[in-house]
Structure 1
Amino acid sequence: MNAVCFDIGGTAIKYALVSQSKGIAHQGKITTPYDLTAFQKVIAEVVEEYAATDEITAVGISMPGYINPQTGYAERAGALAYLDHKNIIDVLSEKISFPIYIENDARCAALAERYSGNAQGLNNFIVMTIGTGIGTAFYLNGSLYRGASFKAGEFGHSRIDYQKRPQHTMHDIFSTRILVEEYKKYMKIPAPAVVTGEEVFETAKLDPEVEEMIQKWVQWLCVGTYNLACTFNPEKILIGGGVSANPELLPRIEQQMSQIDERWITDFYTVIEPCKYLNNAGILGAFYFVEQQLEKQTVKGES
């Protein structure tokens, strides 16, 4: 089975041909369009290109937002406001003849980890991605948990410092974006300049002020992680996003967790690991979601 899979983000769309036998092949990336017609066009062109040389079974899509995977309807589509309140499957089916399957990007990341990553064999785990914002996906009792209206996992909108910063969500407190913004302000770096989390961590080795900045940022990250562990009692919490590849992050988290509350050790200890997949999590997750849906259809057809 071959599927053309997309990981749609606010600035770029990653895509690949994925097969059961060969895995990911022929990867590419294009700039995310900012109108509906252009969006339809670029997705259809990629699919047509692969279909010209390979036998395609389906199209899988990973994208942000409140996504109903059963119908393809997106109540919200992240930064792609022109897709809000649209049925993405209907929109793309105007240009694509193959079956289309779509799921939220964080949940796709969880599927990738469950099927072939660091959550293999687990029935209860959480993926928390740290980047421009905070994203989470809950895999509970052996399946993805989506909530009553597909909004489960919007953990980044939670408030954890309400008395001092009532309007600040977790996105505004411990996303990588916030760490980088504070670093730029301290270093007097122009706002448009590109700075990575890796640069901040490197500078901290020589600058005590930046080191303190990271420590405070990790403290808030650990507060959010602790709350997840207390609420869901998972077997494991996986940390994703580009910053999770930094070998310094996990030791810092482990050091801080026991300082939040001694019950972390006695009652709520949970294994914390980085995700296996970073850049390819969405594409792989979309493929596994396609596999899931095709298997369900086969079983239903046989019954």
Structure 2
Amino acid sequence: MKLAIGIDIGGTKTAIGIVDEQGTIAAKHTIKTDLSISPPQMVEQIAAAVKELLHQHSIEDSSILGIGIGAPGPLDPAGGRITCPPNLPGWQDFPLVKELERHLPYPIRMENDATAATLAEKWIGAAKDSHHFVFVTISTGIGSGIYLHGKLLTGASGNAGDAGHMVIDPSAGRCVCGQLGCWEWVASGTAIARQASEFLGRTVTSKEVFDLANEGDQNMVELVDKLYQYIGMGCVSLINILDPDTIVIGGGVSQVGEPLFQAVRSYVSAHALNPGGRHTRIVPAQLQTDAGLVGAAALVHVNY
């Protein structure tokens, strides 16, 4: 059986996995995305983790079809470069594919991480039966991928779907990209942790915010409700522009579960412009936190 190496690079962690032709993860490992070291040093750590994973599971080079990388945008997939990612300071115009080729002997393909996860959800996930859907990942930041008319849409430069930087609320402050009130700035896991930390006067994680809200902390309940509203606003904009039949939501924040999905469905049903859009399916990513990893491998396994 032929295998692909999937590498999902995030702002806080990098997932590395060996994935077979059915999309099953044979082995995986996660390392910290260490922003205190140079990108070449981080790539060296990624390559070492890949080699160790192959060694631990006695996987021969002949079994590996190639490496797929899901990386934060904006990027240049054709040139194998990360160009100017807001969540990876110091990685500007970094030749990621060329650098990784110095350490590993396999063919490499790279796409935006959310685009790769979109392909995974179409391949073996929540959107297998849809020809018109948008995948949204909400975690450190917010990204999306677009699949319409049976095709993955990547745009002229490979950066279509950067929905995290559409403006939702200009009064909410300046995003790391320089605009005011981007969706990512107001509705990501990082956003709610930042807002709660400012309010409480101490550093808290997004998980702690949701835990406090579940325990009845009224201020945190209001923050979470506002977060859900912002997520709903972004989904309505995507529905109004792209007219999908399904929106798949993944990423760490989606692990909150049904309260989030109920709130977003309610907002969409009330505010989508097209009556048909008000009935857009809003569903959790089936692959959950593995969507990016499987999607990276899908860049090797799936003809897209």
- Once residues 124 and 233 of structure 2 are traced to their aligned partners in structure 1, the CA distance between those partners, rounded to angstroms, is 29
Equivalent position amino acid for 1:133 in 2:
G
With over 3 angstroms needed to count, the CA separation of the structure-2 counterparts of 1:141 and 1:194, relative to structure 1, is: same
Q: Which structure has the greater CA radius of gyration?
A: 1
Q: 1:278 aligns with which of 276, 288, 303?
A: 288
TM-score w.r.t. the length of structure 2 is 0.85
Q: How does 1:260-279 map to 2 (within 5 A)?
A: 260=271, 263=273, 265=275, 268-279=278-289
Query: Given that residues 8 and 14 in structure 2 are in contact (C-alpha distance below 8 angstroms), is that contact kept between their aligned partners in structure 1?
Result: yes
Q: CA deviation at 1:158?
A: 1.4
Q: Secondary structure at the match of 1:168?
A: coil
Query: Compared with structure 1, are the counterparts of its residues 213 and 87 closer, same or farther at alpha carbon in structure 2 (3 Å cutoff)?
Result: closer
Kindly indicate whether residue 221 of structure 2 is the aligned counterpart of residue 211 of structure 1.
yes
Amino acid at match of 2:16: Y
- Show CA shifts across 1:50-82 (max 9, x none): 454212231221111223333322223453344
Following TM superposition, by how much is the alpha carbon of 1:200 offset from its aligned partner in structure 2, in angstroms?
Answer: 4.2
Task: Kindly indicate whether residue 179 of structure 2 is the aligned counterpart of residue 176 of structure 1.
Answer: no
Confirm or deny that 1:167 pairs with 2:180: yes
Alpha-carbon RMSD: 2.5
Gaps of 5+ in 1: 297-303
Moved more, 17-26 or 98-107: 17-26
Question: How far does the alpha carbon of each residue in 1:152-175 deviate from its partner, in whole angstroms, 9 at most, with x for none?
Answer: 111121113347867221122222
| From 46, 54, 58, the counterpart of 2:59 | 54
Q: Structure 2 counterpart of 1:198, which letter?
A: F
Corresponding residue for residue 46 of structure 2: 43
Q: Secondary structure at the match of 2:236?
A: helix
Whichever residue aligns with residue 260 of structure 2, its letter is L
**1:39–1:125 CA distance, 2 compared to 1 (3 A):** same
Identity between Structure 1 and Structure 2 (%): 28
CA drift of 1:198 comes to 3.2
Residues 182, 71 of structure 1: alpha-carbon distance in 2 compared, 3 angstrom cutoff: closer
Structure 1 residues 281-290 or 174-183, which shifts more? 174-183
Determine helix, strand or coil for the equivalent of 2:180: coil
Does the aligned pair in 1 maintain the 2:233–2:267 contact within 8 Å?
Answer: no
Alpha-carbon distance between aligned partners in 1 of 2:126 and 2:144, rounded to the nearest angstrom: 16
TM-score by length of 1: 0.85
CA shift, 1:253, in A, is 1.7
From 210, 219, 224, give the equivalent of 1:198: 210
**Counterpart check, 1:66 vs 2:66:** no
Alignment deviations for residues 27-70 of structure 1 (CA, whole Å, 9 cap, x no partner): 21122243133123222223333454212231221111223333
Unmatched 5+ stretches in structure 2: 174-178
After TM superposition, give the deviation of residue 264 of structure 1 in Å: 5.6
